[in-house]
Structures are given as structure tokens and as C-alpha cells.
Structure 1
Amino acid sequence: MRVLLVGASGQLGFEVKRQMQAGFTLMLPSSRQLDIRSAEQVAKALRELKPDLIINAAAFTAVDQAEQEPEQAFAVNERGVKHLAQSNLPIVHLSTDYVFNGELQRPYREEDKPAPLNSYGQSKLAGEKALTAVNPRHLILRTGGLFGVHGNNFVKAILYKAQNRQLLTVVNDQFSTPTPAPALAKAIGQLAKHYREQAKLPWGIYHFGGQPAVSWYEFAVTIAEQALILGLLKQRPEIIAIKSADYPGAVCRPRYSALDSGLLQRSLGLSPPDWRDGLRQMLAQLA
């Protein structure tokens, strides 16, 4: 089966390539070769590559930058998705927990109403709507707090800061379900395998987040503890818990954006990962 992986050079795309080396013909155009912001480029690429399935892992994910340059975020996260959707090819598309406002005090389910607080979340929700409006064969995976050995992420940021200074300040009133990129990539590979064998998927929107829910402060403390054990840090950094209101210049983010992954587990047997296991595996690769 021919699979077009859009965003192959990113954090998730890197892991998807690893997971889908066998059993698929992967097509991996760079962003220069396939700029999804261009309808003409997308149409030309699809005519030439003739994929059976599209996996869209491309996104404008810089939350702070999106607030300053919303037109750039929407160009990729909405217009780019629309161009791919118009192919009418089956699409596995990645979205985010930031489509929610974080006011619930329980993990978000698929039927909960989105209400994004910032331009990044708004652009990703617009992409979801663009896809669902024109292409019925879509499977949208919302995730959050993605981390892995490739690319930039919260785990690497904490390690870098801990290695270069003693005092860290991390918010303790924002909660997420951090997701190991290899686990998400494995789930995507299983979805592609299911489509290859069954010629269908249970189309719709699903959540896939690491478990359990945790504050960013608690996540940072766990990162430091594991890094010490593996010798990635020479001494324990001082990590100070602060409130979101005390974080200077911060873009408004949801206070509680944990995801309930039960529907995907019931539908396809894809269990959400324990982020603590994924963290240990990532840090072991970096050690």
C-alpha cells in the first residue's frame, strides 16, 4: 500500500517512518517538495505519487509564534489541511488537545465541545472542520504534549535548562496527558495496517494521550529525577512551581487539557501509553 506521509521530517514523522518501514511503500516529500499551503503543489504531488492513504503529521505547532503570526498558523493548519482533504483520499490527520479551553476537570472526550483559547488551537480546530466538511474518509487523532528523541519538545527543554542553570520555574496549574511520539507513531502504523487489510477504518475523531494526567511541574520533576538516574544531569536542579498568571508574556493555554483515550481503545484496541515508560525509554536513548 502506498502511503504519503506529510511532515516526515518532524518529531512525529520521524517515528512514523521507523514504525512503517515494513509492509508499506512510504512516500516522504520534504516541505519544499510538497508545500501543503499551495493547492497546486498538493494536486500535482497527488497526481504523481498516487497514494492509497495520506498521513498528515505536518503542522504549525509553535504556540507563542502562532499568536504573533496567526496567518501563518492558519495557512498550514487550516488551508493546508483543506488542500489535502479535497483529494478525497483517506486521511489520518493529527490534531491537538488545545482545541479545548481546559475548563473541565476531567479528561476530554471526543463529544466535548471545542473552544480553543489561542490562535494555535483555533487554527487546528479550523483544520479539523475543513477536513470533516469535504472528506468523509478521515480519522482525526487529537494528542498533546508530544515528546521524543527527534525535534524540540518539553522534555528536551527541561534537560537543556537543567544542564545549564540551577533554577527552573514551571507552571503547576496546567495539566496535560504527555504523549511519547513512538507510541503515537505505533498507533498510526496500526491504523494504516488496519486500512490495508480491511480497506476501511472507523472514521471520525479520536483522542490519543499518554496516561496519567499530570501537571507540567510534576512532569518536569519526573524528567529531572529520571535524568539524574541515567547520568544526564550531574546534580538535581531546583524546580519552582509557579502559577500560569506568574509566567511572563505567556499565551493563554488551557488549564486542563488531558485527553480520554477510551474511544480509540474500544474501537480498535489501541491502548494509550504510560508516559512514564515513554520518558524512561527516551532518556535512555539520550544517555
Structure 2
Amino acid sequence: MVFANQPPSRETLTFDVVDDLVGAHLRGRLKGAPQVRYAATEVCPLIELMMESNNGRTGPLLQTPWLDSITQLDFRNALASNQNIWLDDARLRGFMRTTFDPRVEADDVQRNRFLFAARTAAETSGLVKPVAQSLTAALREMESNIHEHSGASSTGILAFQARPSAFEFVAADCGFGILATLREDEEFADLTDHGLAMHAALQENVSRYGRMSGHGNGFRDLFLGLAHLNADLRFRSGDHALLISGPQPELKTARLAQKAPLKGFLAAVRCQPMMPGSDTRH
């Protein structure tokens, strides 16, 4: 029970909390003083919260009073600004909006600077160099997918954060979404389920160009990089989430869950090295 004048409690912003806040916002139930303030210690849930009703820069929930006024304040202020790329002083956190033109050399320099910072941060968190390289390659491919498939590349964003023994990164946009994009291929023209569309899109050789086109390998580097890690993966598009968790994450262990609608596509990954003896697979 919360008594009058009692200060709100403080909890961590998780994806479950994001689901609740977004659902409450859509139903108009986030009015009044918050009973809890959430600390956005991880950037992936924060980015998903920001993408709710996103206008191409930032959605209304980035400034919600349900977030505390301290945690990740510099990161949140940068997200709310006009900056297209931001790195903290230690280069362990940062984001880049996908407003850079891949064909322009000066823009490519900025992109490479961001991706190099992400790779170095991943190594700082304890990931070995080949794994950090694979995950950074996956992040770059996610950026390429936003430009190629979203239809709204100006709304896209990449972000990462490194902490001791944990690295997280996310790519999101407010574009067409996976279902609408995949249905451009005649094989999936009759598909109507956002969850099944995400499951298909994460498979190799699946894209709106067809299986024989040589496209659709954007998530290969991701799963290769995660092959010897503990990881939590969350993909969002439309009214579904696709979730994969545990050691050596694979698509065959994915779970689908219905959620409040999200415009576009979001891919979020949190990973850490496996401790000796932690692999439970046989």
C-alpha cells in the first residue's frame, strides 16, 4: 500500500516494466503522480521505451516521471537533443542515429568511429576480440537493414553499453515493420502474424528479396558472436516479441509473446561470457 505523501519507491527499468508502461500509456493510465520511479540502468529497455509513439527523434515516455531523475541522465539528455551521435567520456556508452548516408565518405568516418567504440567497449566488458568483432559486425548489419528495409531510416537508432562482464546493444526504427517488409516476397505474401514474421526473418536467406537472392543473412554474425555466451535477445515488431535466453542462444529456442503494438522493428541483445561449467546443453 502507498500512503499519502510517501515518496515513490525505486526499482529497475526492465523490459517487463517497459511492457507495462507502454500498455498503460496506450490506455491513458499514466496520469497522476507515479508510485514507482524506475532506474534505467540498462540502455536496451530505455531505447524501447523511447520508441513508443516515436516521432522520428524521441517518444513521450523518454521524459515520463516514472523514470527517476538521475540514472543515465546524460544519455537521456543526449537522446532528447538534436545530436545524431553521442559517446560518453569513457566511450562505454553511446548511440548513433541512422541519419548518416552510407554513400558519403564523411558519414562513413562517423559510423566507423561509433562502431569502433562499440567494439572496444565490448572487449572492455570482458568479451574476447573475435566475439566483439562479430557482434559489432552484427550491429553494422542491423544499421544496413534499417537503411535498406525500414522505409524510414531517419527514425533509426543504434545504441550500446558496456559494464563489467556484460555488454548490451540495440537497433530500432519506426519503419514498416518485419511483417509488411517480408510480405513483399511472394513466399510470405499471405503471412498475417507479426511473431511468425519475425521468426522467419531471423532465419538465413530469408528477406523480402526471396531465398535465392543472396540477401537475408543479416543475423548470421549475431548468432555466431553469441555462440559461446550467455545472452538475452528481444526482438519486437507489431504486436509481438520474440525472446531467446540462455547459453549459446539459438533461434530454435525462441519464444513468442503478444505485446502492445510497436511500429517498426527493434532488436536488443544483452550478453556476457559464460562461466566455466555453465553450459547446460548436452
Bin of the TM-score, shorter chain as denominator length: 0.3 to 0.5
Q: Of Structure 1 and Structure 2, which has the larger fraction of its residues in strand?
A: 2
More contact order relative to length (CA 8 Å, sep ≥ 6): 1
Structure number having the greater helix percentage:
1
